[in-house]
Amino acid sequence: MRFARLAIAAALVGWLASRTAVADSTPAPVSDDRIVLSVNGSTLPGTNGGGGGSVGWLHNFDADTLAGVAVEHQWMSVAHWTFGSVNGSLTRELGDARYSFYGEAHEGAGDDGPRAFKYSVVAAGIIGTYFHRLSAQLEDRQFDVETTHGNLPMLGLMYSVNSHILTAVSYAHSVSGNLGTHLTSARIDAYSYKANFLAGVAFGRVSPTVLGLRFEVPGKTLSEGYVGVTKPLPHGRGELTLVVDYQDLAGINRVAVTLNYIFHIGHHGKPT
CATH number for the domain running over 7-268: 2.40.160.40
pLDDT in tens, 94-109: 888 999 999 999 999 9
pLDDT score for 1: 37
- Contact at 8 Å (CB) between 206 and 154? no
Bigger pLDDT: 246 or 265?
A: 246
pLDDT class of 214 with cuts at 50, 70, 90:
low
pLDDT score for 62: 85
220-233 and 252-268 beta bridge pairing: unpaired
pTM above 0.75, yes or no: yes
- Please, what is the average pLDDT of the chain? 84
Q: Does 50 score more than 70 pLDDT? A: yes
Q: Which residues pair with 244 in a beta bridge?
A: 227, 257
* Span between the terminal Cα atoms of the chain, in Å: 34
CA distance 218 to 216: 7
pLDDT class of 146 with cuts at 50, 70, 90:
confident
- Contact at 8 Å (CB) between 106 and 6? yes
CA distance 9 to 258: 14
182-191 and 252-268 beta bridge pairing: unpaired
Q: Which residues pair with 47 in a beta bridge?
A: none
